[in-house]
């Protein structure tokens, strides 16, 4: 084994879709569908269709490989293997079709199966984030921008923002189905000439049989812009997952310590040398694999630049990009679900971190209160800025510096300042925003009464 997908990454349910055996089964299903279309249009008898169908069900991968060693052509090997079993009916196998009628339509069948998994993955992640958004709706923590302390938010809001983004991905996946899950049955250059004037009817019957849409403008292949879109969608999701995992990694740093990825203290080892280490290894793995997924974007774009009605420069690349991206996105979505379902949220540390800097992070509210009392906005900003920077730079007490200013004394006293710097008084519409996001999510995945 060479590829890490074989022994380290990916779930069996996703990998099974892209196995060599399943790829063959999908291609055989397309050949079966073509025979059915010929039967439905009166070109062949029902017995011929049934013979071909039975042959397709009984073709063995080992035999296909034996033939391919001789033919050096994978699709022709499949056609010959079917013909060997189908007897006299074998003369109708693959009639009028070209290789990519079979290959591209089979890929669409694989992606159709994968979409079902992907949609469930996203729904499961949405449910997990919804629970956290509600559970920690009022858990106040530091908001941070540029890696610096900013204003107070809630952990529930942070999770809800992630939830909103995942929900948009779910919508994109659903909306893309009609563009991605399409096949073709139009022959060598996309004209359907080999189907004797019935190409449109035959193609329609084939795709209905398989539950796929139709490529309305084929060449010898379906448009690779469709595969580009699929890889883009997968890469976009991976980027969100990496962003989420990066946030967990940052918040787990000991100097912050507000969340922690689950760690089995009885058995798990953080480092072979540094025995004290508690590392966010799953979050790091999510980040690492998401970068691999996005690396498939460039070859996917390149695969759409083909000569005339097609060449073969896309073929090898697509055998990597589509299966690998699919298997890895399923893997890291489920790892992200695990991280957030088992996340240790240190509410006490969140509050402690807030209290340590409350005079600084509430400076916007101080400015607003001074303006409310009659001070000019720019004057208020400059006074607060000057004392905040001085206090931080010289390790002095902001409160004492600020309240000692004669100008400030005209507008604010100590009691008013203490009320102004309470983080819970400056959360804006955080709760309403969470509710708005959850309402949208509920429309997609239904409402759960018990979120605990």
pLDDT tens for residues 252-293? 999 999 999 987 666 666 655 665 667 899 999 999 999 999
Q: 10 Å Cβ neighbour count for 357? A: 13
Structural domains in the chain?
A: 11-92 (1.10.275.10), 99-347 (1.20.200.10), 363-421 (1.10.40.30)
Distance CA 132, CA 136 (A): 6
Question: ∠ CA 198-202-205 to the nearest 5 degrees?
Answer: 145
Write 164-167 long-range contacts (CB < 8 A, 24+).
164/437, 164/440, 165/240, 166/122, 166/125, 166/126, 166/129, 166/237, 166/240, 167/126, 167/437, 167/440, 167/441, 167/444
Model-level pTM?
A: 0.93
> What pairs with residue 141 in β-bridges?
153
**What pLDDT is recorded for position 272?**
55
| pLDDT of the residue at 452 | 46
Report, as ranges of residue numbers, the positions in the chain whose pLDDT lies below 50.
451-452
**Which pLDDT score is estimated for 450?**
54
In the residue annotation, 271 being an active-site residue is answered as: yes
| pLDDT for residue 395 | 86
Find where tokens 């390790």 sit: 395
Q: What is the pLDDT of residue 387?
A: 87
The catalytically annotated residue of 146, 178, 276, 308 is 146
pLDDT of 56? 98
Assigned token pair, 234: 């997968």
CA dist 103 and 117 (Å) reads: 22
Angle at 140 between CA 135 and CA 146, to 5 degrees: 120
Q: What is the pLDDT of residue 334?
A: 98
- Selecting among 16, 73, 271, 295, the annotated active-site residue is 271
- What is the maximal distance between C-alpha atoms in the chain? 104
396-415 b/e with 16+ CB inside 10 Å = b?
A: eebbebbeeeeebeebbeee
**Are 318 and 227 a contacting pair, CB within 8 Å?**
yes
Q: Return the pLDDT at 269.
A: 61
Residue-level pLDDT at 91: 96
Residue 283 is a catalytic residue? no
């Amino acid at each position: 084994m060479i590829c890490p997908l074989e022994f380290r990454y990916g779930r069996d349910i996703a990998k099974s879709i892209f196995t060599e055996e399943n790829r063959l089964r999908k291609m055989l299903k397309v050949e079966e569908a073509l025979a059915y279309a010929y039967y439905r249009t009166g070109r062949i008898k029902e017995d011929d269709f049934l013979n071909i169908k039975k042959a397709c069900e009984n073709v063995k991968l080992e035999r296909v490989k034996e033939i391919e060693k001789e033919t050096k052509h994978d699709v022709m090997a499949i056609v010959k293997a079917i013909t060997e079993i189908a007897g006299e009916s074998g003369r109708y196998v693959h009639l009028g079709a070209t290789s990519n009628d079979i290959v591209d339509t089979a890929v669409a069948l694989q992606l159709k199966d994968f979409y079902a998994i992907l949609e469930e993955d996203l729904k499961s992640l949405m449910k997990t984030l919804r629970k956290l958004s509600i559970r920690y709706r009022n858990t106040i923590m530091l908001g941070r921008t540029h890696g610096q302390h900013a204003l107070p938010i809630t952990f529930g809001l942070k999770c809800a923002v992630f939830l909103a983004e995942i929900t948009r991905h779910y919508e994109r996946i659903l909306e893309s189905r009609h563009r991605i899950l399409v096949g073709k049955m139009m022959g060598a250059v996309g004209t359907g000439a080999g189907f004797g004037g019935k190409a449109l009817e035959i193609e329609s019957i084939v795709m209905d049989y398989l539950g796929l849409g139709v490529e309305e403008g084929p060449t010898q292949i379906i448009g690779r812009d469709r595969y580009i879109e699929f890889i883009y969608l997968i890469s976009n999701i991976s980027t969100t997952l990496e962003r989420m995992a990066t946030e967990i990694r940052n918040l787990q740093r000991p100097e912050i310590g507000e969340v922690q990825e689950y760690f089995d203290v009885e058995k798990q080892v953080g480092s072979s040398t540094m025995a004290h280490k508690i590392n966010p290894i799953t979050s790091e793995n999510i980040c690492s694999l998401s970068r691999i997924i996005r690396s498939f974007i460039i070859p996917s774009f390149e695969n759409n630049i083909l000569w005339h009605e097609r060449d073969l420069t896309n073929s090898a690349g697509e055998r990597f990009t589509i299966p690998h991206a699919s298997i890895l996105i399923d893997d890291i979505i489920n790892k992200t679900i695990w991280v957030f379902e088992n996340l240790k949220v240190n509410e006490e540390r969140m509050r402690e971190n807030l209290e340590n800097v409350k005079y600084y992070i509430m400076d916007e509210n101080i400015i607003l209160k001074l303006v409310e009392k009659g001070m000019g906005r720019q004057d208020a900003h400059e006074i607060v800025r000057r004392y905040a920077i001085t206090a931080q730079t010289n390790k002095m007490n902001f409160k004492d510096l600020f309240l000692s200013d004669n100008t400030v004394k005209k507008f604010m006293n100590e009691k008013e300042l203490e009320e102004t710097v309470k983080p819970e008084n400056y959360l804006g519409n955080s709760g309403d925003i969470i509710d708005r996001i959850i309402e949208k999510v509920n429309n997609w995945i239904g409402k759960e009464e018990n979120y605990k």
